[in-house]
Amino acid sequence: MTTSVPAAVNPPRRILMGPGPSDTHPRVWAALAAPTVGHLDPYFLQIMTEMQAMLRQVFRTTNELTLAVSGTGSAGMETCVVNLIEPGDKMVVCVNGVFGGRMADVAGRCGAQVTIVERPFGDIFSTAEIAEVVKRVQPKVVGIVNAETSTGAWQPLEEISKVVHDAGALLLVDCVTSLGGVPLEVDQWGLDAVYSGTQKCLSCPPGLAPVTFSPRAVAAIEARKTKVASWYLDLTMVRNYWGQSRAYHHTAPINMNYGLHEALRLVLEEGLEARHARHMKNHKALKAGLAAIGIKYAVAEGQQLPMLNAVLIPEGIDDAAVRGQLLSEFGIEIGGGLGPMKGKTWRIGLMGEASSPCNVLLFLAALERCLSDRGYKLSPGASVAAANAFYAKG
């Protein structure tokens, strides 16, 4: 029997302008390649301590129970739901996209009595409709998505948090795409359980899920009458590994934590306000460029995420063909629509390291070429000129 050895891993170079993962800074790659130590090594324990402190700064919280779950953003979602929900608990889940639907699915699997409140893909929820449902249902937990990656919709949270707490419930929030890209005030807004991921605006490869829990949420976990359904994600045990006792729970992905540690350093070196402003500036430049060639956003004005731009595909243009050409000829990845938006929208990511004038201008030039090849009528260079005009304003 002959042995066949595959070729060494040698992925193509891409410019990641889809819904995630985003581009990674060279300093993060270098951190990932640092020597592995044991998960209880004093050096790694110090890394964990420093990372918790930086996560609190990025989340804008003083929550003691703040850590990085060993798993992707979906593991962060399951961690929040499975620790707060016991069989029979009532949970309201706000569904206006794929990830709200996923949260409802997880809650049901945990034994919750789930009440779904829905809006069409691309819409956001009003405070009044959330107030009505929580008053009627009297849930233990309300789950909502701050930045719906499947649609590009940006959900305000501050007023919703007040009505949720007035009803005696906890607010659980998906911030996978928003953390590090737009303002997020966990303490000021009273968010109780928040999860994110490393691969969006933090610009670290996927593999960890930052989470934070308010004192109210911790009290709910400690008051449970049943064991957490997931052993791996049970924070009554995991928090002891991240706490002072450093009690062994599982072998953490050492090098992924190195990478997140460096990614958080980059965020804080830039400054949260400056980082948010960068994302918004590049979003507006992209928007100006797209408008110049007749491409409109799929989300209403004032509700559009700056780091995830969902735009309507022009009539008669083949979705997959354009995305394929962008990838094969220009090395640019963008995303297609999901659910009812499949084939109708493109999702253009400007997350973290990918949010730059260079990427905006390159993408617009490449998109013009792809559209022109398919007979779309435009004035050559119009999108790039419009974006440059926006940047020229400072």
Confidence of residue 384 (pLDDT cuts 50, 70, 90): very high
CA distance linking residue 370 with residue 251, whole number of Å: 47
**Cβ atoms within 10 Å of 165's Cβ, excluding its own:** 16
pLDDT at 336 over 90: yes
Each domain of the chain, given as residue ranges in start order, spans 26-269, 272-392
* 0.85 exceeded by pTM: yes
**What's the count of helices (H) and strands (E) in the chain, helices before strands?**
14, 14
Q: Does the domain at residues 272-392 carry the CATH identifier 4.10.140.10?
A: no
Question: Tens digits of per-residue pLDDT, 194-251?
Answer: 999 999 999 999 999 999 999 999 999 999 999 999 999 999 999 999 998 999 999 9
Query: In the structure encoding, which two tokens stand for residue 34, read together?
Result: 């640092």
Q: Which helix (H) or strand (E) holds 236?
A: helix 235-242
Q: What is the pLDDT of residue 89?
A: 98
Q: What is the pLDDT of residue 218?
A: 98
Q: What is the pLDDT of residue 105?
A: 97
Q: What is the pLDDT of residue 297?
A: 98
Nearest to 78, CA basis, from 186, 195, 223, 179: 195
> Which residue is listed with tokens 């209880």?
40
Q: What is the pLDDT of residue 394?
A: 80
Write the burial class of residue 244 (CB in 10 Å: 0-12 exposed, 13-18 middle, 19+ buried): exposed
Q: What average pLDDT is seen over the chain?
A: 97
Q: What is the pLDDT of residue 3?
A: 84
CA distance linking residue 106 with residue 286, whole number of Å: 35
Give the three-class secondary structure for 390.
helix
Q: What is the pLDDT of residue 216?
A: 98
Q: What is the pLDDT of residue 320?
A: 97
Question: Tens digits of per-residue pLDDT, 270-327?
Answer: 999 999 999 999 999 999 999 999 999 999 999 999 999 999 999 999 999 999 999 9
Confidence of residue 72 (pLDDT cuts 50, 70, 90): very high
Find out whether 110 and 82 touch, Cβ atoms under 8 Å. Answer: yes
| Sequence-ordered list of residues with C-beta below 8 angstroms from that of 293, at least 6 positions apart, any chain | 367, 368, 371, 378, 379, 382, 383
| Sequence-ordered list of residues with C-beta below 8 angstroms from that of 228, at least 6 positions apart, any chain | 82, 83, 221, 234, 235, 236
* DSSP secondary structure, 313-350, as one string: PPTT--HHHHHHHHHHHH-EE-EE--GGGTTTEEEEE-
Question: Tens digits of per-residue pLDDT, 108-147?
Answer: 999 999 999 999 999 999 999 999 999 999 999 999 999 9
CATH annotation of 26-269? 3.40.640.10
Q: What is the pLDDT of residue 161?
A: 98
CA distance linking residue 71 with residue 79, whole number of Å: 10
Long-range contacts of 113-119 (CB under 8 A, 24+ apart): 113/88, 113/89, 115/90, 115/91, 115/139, 116/92, 117/92, 117/93, 118/94, 119/94, 119/95
pLDDT at 369 over 90: yes
pLDDT at 2 over 90: no
The dihedrals phi and psi of 219, each to the nearest 5 degrees, come to: -60, -40
